[in-house]
Structure 1
Amino acid sequence: MHARHDLAWLTRDGWQDVLATATQGTPAHAAIARWAACDWPLVVRRRDDAAQAPASASGHAGEPAGEICLGLAAPPDPVSAAKLRLPLRVPARHIARHSAPMALDAVVHALPAGWRAPFARLATASAGLDVRVFGSLALQALTGQAYLRDASDIDLLFRPRDSLELDAGTLLLAGFLDELPLDGEIIFPSGQAVAWKEWLNAHAHTERVLVKSHVSVKLGTRTELRAELEPA
């Protein structure tokens, strides 16, 4: 199964199909052509709603069976800071391979100098936890392009295996907020996700949190999500 934030590499035929959906001479066409030439991965995104989904590069809404919803995020324009984001849909047969988001030690080379020491301590402290990197830092590490800006976050995915790990891991991440601009999500066994900062704040203020999944965004409760981590 392809989960949100996973990385997906396309076959040659897949890139040809995607390139054919964009008009030549446009920024979208140029970005797709560069991704294809460099064999950079796309990122798995939430599936389009069949009734309300925006059109993809081909102009069609919805997600036909057998297709994977992917995204291409180009780096910010160095002058305007505008961000090109392309929602794409690709037949599953055109996925050459896919992987989970990047491990912490795989992105160290892309970190600004001022973040490296605290990030190294975070990596050491989180050993044994399933913590991965997505977003701007991951894309900069993958492509070598300039994604990070002064206001950028370090987006982390945390997949706890039980309630004790959930509590310990979120407190660990919170402990580095004074040194690193951390953000990101907790991913539960069902694939549902909650921003880990919201999870921490909800502990003090409210039981309800915004829950994202591969198909929807809705309100849920911390109790329901925590139950996924409890023994049957």
Structure 2
Amino acid sequence: MPDPLRPEPRRRHDLLDLEPDAWAAALAARPDLAGVPRVADWAQRGWPVILRRRNPGEAAGAVPVGLPLPPAEGKRRIGLGLPAAAVRPRPPVALAQASGTAPEAWRPTLAALDALGRRHGVAPRVFGGLLWQHLTGLAYLSDTSDLDLLWPVAGAIDRRLLDALAAIEQAAPMRLDGEIVLPDGRGVNWRELHAASPDDTVLTKHRDGLALCAARALGYAGEAA
């Protein structure tokens, strides 16, 4: 059982709300961001940032956060390090919550993905363009956008989940990107894992770096659970 006196560790893709004064102070130390659209008033608008992977050489005491600008404004990815007291967690956005923001042509696929998650007891979460369009109302999606999803699993990875994802993508109007997220916070690309045998090596991503490991070590036997 989680200790109520100890906060849960932050993980890649976690959404974080900002303390506006701390955001302004961080921007003041980054003259290269002066005049970049949207950035100065990001916190004042109540928009969150996302926890990103820490880059080599970044201060260990700072929280590494990021935000992407819309494609029409350069699609630039902004990365900053903030004091821990400057951010607070915001609940993730489930696919079902963001479905109304998606293009009409995506809706049948989103319904199929939501139903898939329900069958497997996994609530898919959005990130990427659909997330940011849902949160900000800005135009992040285009006709060529991918759908980015996180699939947080509680234990062994069921091959049937990956098979069904691949089948849904075959009929989808967009590419399905994203990761299976393990209980310890590591993420692995679902497509890479689906193509792997249990003894193949796959790339995992964590908030503090990258690592290669055998698919079997992730709880993936390559068979239906």
TM-score by length of 1: 0.82
- Which residue of structure 2 lines up, in the alignment, with residue 48 of structure 1? 55
Alignment of structure 1 residues 65-214 onto 2, 5 Å? 65=61, 67-77=62-72, 82-95=74-87, 97-127=88-118, 128-163=121-156, 166-178=158-170, 179=172, 180-203=174-197, 207-214=200-207
Identity percentage over the alignment? 35
Deviation, 1:5, is 0.5
State the AA in 2 paired with 1:172.
A
- Give the match's secondary structure for 1:33: coil
CA, structure 1 residues 18+176, in 2 after alignment: closer, same or farther (shift >3 Å)?
same
TM-superposition CA deviations, 1:120-147 (whole Å, max 9, x none): 2221231231321111110111101111
CA, structure 1 residues 24+3, in 2 after alignment: closer, same or farther (shift >3 Å)?
closer
Which shows bigger deviation, 213-222 or 135-144? 213-222
- Which residue of structure 2 lines up, in the alignment, with residue 21 of structure 1? 29
Figure out how many residues of one structure are paired with residues of the other and give that number: 208
* Whole-Å separation in 2 of the counterparts to 1:34 and 1:181: 32
For structure 1, which runs of at least 5 residues remain unmatched after alignment? Answer: 51-61, 228-232
Deviation, 1:46, is 0.6
Deviation, 1:151, is 1.7
- Which residue of structure 1 lines up, in the alignment, with residue 223 of structure 2? none
RMSD of equivalent CA atoms? 2.1
Deviation, 1:25, is 8.0
Deviation, 1:117, is 1.9
TM-score by length of 2: 0.84
Deviation, 1:17, is 1.5
* Whole-Å separation in 2 of the counterparts to 1:34 and 1:124: 38
CA, structure 1 residues 101+86, in 2 after alignment: closer, same or farther (shift >3 Å)?
same
Equivalent pair of 1:154/1:182 in contact (CA under 8 Å): yes
Equivalent pair of 2:159/2:194 in contact (CA under 8 Å): no
